[in-house]
């Protein structure tokens, strides 16, 4: 088992222990249920052929069909895909969705491809995993490197394999093809709802509300918009090309223009630029990692100056860094809660696809707000009840639901106890 997955898994078993759930009950969650590895052909525009490694992992399906995004990035590995699938399992359990956890990915510089190459590769990916995914089995969605267009290609390719329209095999589709308008913003909106629900618990009430944001993609960018509209100040922002900082606050419209028209936030006029990683050490009230995992480690956790962390990225803080931040009094709104808006609205999209009864934008917004406020409150209360940090509290709630599901399938008959 990879290092990333084993350290992710430890957190669930520690939380289960804190809540008095026996290791026996959660034993089925010790390893991924299924991980398929394939090599996919990528035919380049110049006629050359490359072979690309790709994976799909269905970590656990006790609570329902597996659900999780598809990541196209050069750093993707089997270990990363399995850890992300594990986190999806915890997240869906915590948010009370009828889904297990899955994830997929390909080790590819997808952004560096032409549009034709991107379409060819995405369709190869869908065909290569057509025997794994399915609207009642394993339902992908966007993650780093993928978005609505890739989901439309996957839905279309899968439909051809199954000779029918089963577009709810993926979520995060363009609205005209069965998606929900609110899905594109759901992760950022959800992170903002969690921030407001936990503002006091995170120790942010009464601060200057200065934010440093790492990652200016679909999640980070929408979150920034909501926070700035609420009066928070963006003092630093980074993307993969570098970071830009201003004590007075960065102009969000100008940042978006720099990103859209010139490709990076570092093209902003005004503001001091630096290398990407510098954003992590900004003097601020709230640090928001919204790029890749493994950013805050035991090697740099002492240099974090933020008062609190809101994790939009999956797994941005390593387990040993978690301990250091906790000892330093830096509170964390954990990924499995803070970025769960995406999978929540994906669930609504999937329900809409199955029933063919549409949700209105208003209904989607209201349901998202209510569910994430409820779950944030549950995490704050569990942290008090079990005297643990917010991440452990979120894992306790997930472990309790997973343990109930495992027990309901008869584990209690053989001596494993549910709680």
From 115-123, 218-226, 361-369, 389-397, give the range in contact with ligand NAD by CB under 6 A: 218-226
216 binds ligand NAD (CB under 6 A): yes
Which one, 339 or 376, has the nearer CB to ligand NAD? 339
Residue 33 or 91: which CB sits closer to ligand NAD?
A: 91
With b meaning 16 or more CB within 10 Å and e meaning fewer, what string describes 29-59?
beebbbbeebebebeeeeeeeeebebbbbbb
Note the Cα 392 to chain centre separation in Å: 18
From 144, 154, 337, 405, residue interacting with ligand NAD (rule: CB under 6 A): 144
Give the span between the Cα atoms of 324 and 297, in whole angstroms: 9
Catalytic member of 103, 173, 259, 404 = 103
Strand 210-214, strand 286-289: pairing: parallel
Is 219 among the residues that bind ligand NAD (CB under 6 A)? yes
Helix-helix angle 115-128:148-162, to 10 degrees: 50
Q: In the complex, what is the shortest distance from the CB of residue 338 to ligand NAD, in angstroms, rounded to a whole number?
A: 9
| Cα dist from 128 to 6, 39, 105, 120, 296, whole Å | 28, 9, 12, 12, 34
The size of the interface with ligand NAD (CB under 6 A), counted in residues, is 24
Q: C-beta of 183: minimal distance to ligand NAD in Å?
A: 8
Neighbours of 77 (CB within 10 A): 14
- Quick check: is 103 catalytic? yes
> Is the Cβ–Cβ distance between 377 and 198 less than 8 Å?
no
Counting contacts by CB under 6 A, is residue 271 touching ligand NAD?
no
Contacts with ligand NAD in 307-346 (CB under 6 A)?
A: 312-314, 339, 342
CA dihedral 337, 133, 179, 41 (to 10 degrees): 110
Smallest distance, ligand NAD to C-beta of residue 191, A? 9
Residue 178 touches ligand NAD, criterion: CB under 6 A: no
φ/ψ (deg, to 5) at 174: -60, 145
Among 238, 268, 304, 397, binds ligand NAD (CB under 6 A): 238
In angstroms, the Cα distances linking 60 to 63, 89, 140, 395, 402 are 8, 6, 14, 15, 10
**Strand ranges, E, within 76-209:** 100-107, 138-142
Q: Which stretch binds ligand NAD (CB under 6 A): 306-314, 347-355, 371-379, 410-418?
A: 306-314
Residue 239 CB, nearest approach to ligand NAD (Å) = 3
- Judged by CB under 6 A, the stretch of 18-26, 112-120, 233-241, 297-305 that binds ligand NAD is 233-241
| Closest-CA residue to 305 (of 313, 314, 296) | 296
Taking CB under 6 A as the binding criterion, the range among 52-60, 223-231, 236-244, 360-368 that sits at the site for ligand NAD is 236-244
Footprint on this chain of ligand NAD (rule: CB under 6 A): 142-145, 187, 214-220, 238-240, 276, 290-292, 312-314, 339, 342
Active-site amino acid positions? 103
């Amino acid at each position: 088992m990879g290092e990333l997955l084993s350290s992710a898994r430890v957190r669930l078993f520690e939380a289960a222990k804190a809540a008095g759930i026996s290791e026996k009950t959660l034993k089925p969650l010790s390893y991924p249920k299924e991980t398929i590895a394939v090599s996919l052909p990528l035919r380049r525009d110049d006629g050359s052929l490359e072979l690309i490694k790709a994976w799909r992992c269905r970590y656990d399906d006790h609570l329902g069909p597996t659900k999780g995004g598809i990541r196209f990035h050069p750093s993707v590995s089997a270990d990363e895909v399995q850890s992300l699938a594990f986190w999806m399992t915890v997240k869906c359990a915590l948010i009370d969705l009828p889904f297990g956890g899955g994830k997929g990915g390909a080790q590819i510089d997808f952004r560096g491809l032409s549009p034709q190459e991107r379409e060819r590769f995405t369709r190869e990916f869908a065909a290569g995993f057509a025997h794994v995914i399915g609207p009642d089995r394993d339902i992908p969605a966007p993650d780093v490197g993928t978005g609505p267009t890739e989901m439309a290609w996957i839905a279309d390719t899968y439909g051809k394999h199954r000779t029918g329209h089963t577009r709810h095999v993926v979520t995060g589709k363009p609205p005209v093809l069965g998606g929900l308008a609110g899905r594109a913003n759901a992760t950022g909106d959800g992170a903002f709802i969690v921030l407001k629900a936990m503002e006091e618990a995170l120790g942010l009430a009464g601060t200057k509300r200065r934010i440093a944001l790492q990652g200016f993609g679909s999640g980070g960018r929408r979150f920034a918009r909501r926070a700035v509209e609420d009066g928070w100040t963006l003092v630093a922002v980074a993307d993969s090309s570098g970071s830009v900082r201003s004590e007075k606050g960065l102009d969000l419209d100008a940042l978006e223009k720099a990103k859209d028209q010139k490709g990076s936030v570092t093209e902003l006029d005004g503001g001091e630029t630096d290398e990407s990683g510098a954003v992590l050490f900004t003097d601020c009230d709230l640090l928001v990692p919204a790029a890749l995992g493994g950013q805050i480690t035991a090697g740099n956790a002492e240099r974090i100056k933020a008062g609190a962390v809101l994790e939009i990225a999956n797994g941005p803080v390593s387990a040993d860094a978690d301990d250091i931040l906790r000892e330093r009094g830096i509170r964390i709104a954990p990924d499995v809660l803070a970025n769960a808006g995406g999978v929540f609205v994906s669930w609504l999209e999937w329900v809409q696809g199955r029933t063919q009864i549409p949700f209105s934008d208003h209904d989607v917004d209201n349901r998202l707000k209510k569910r994430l406020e409820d779950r944030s409150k549950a995490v704050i209360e569990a942290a008090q009840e079990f005297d643990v940090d917010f991440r452990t509290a979120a894992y306790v709630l997930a472990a309790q639901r997973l343990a109930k599901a495992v027990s309901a399938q008869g584990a209690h008959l053989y001596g494993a106890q549910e709680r």
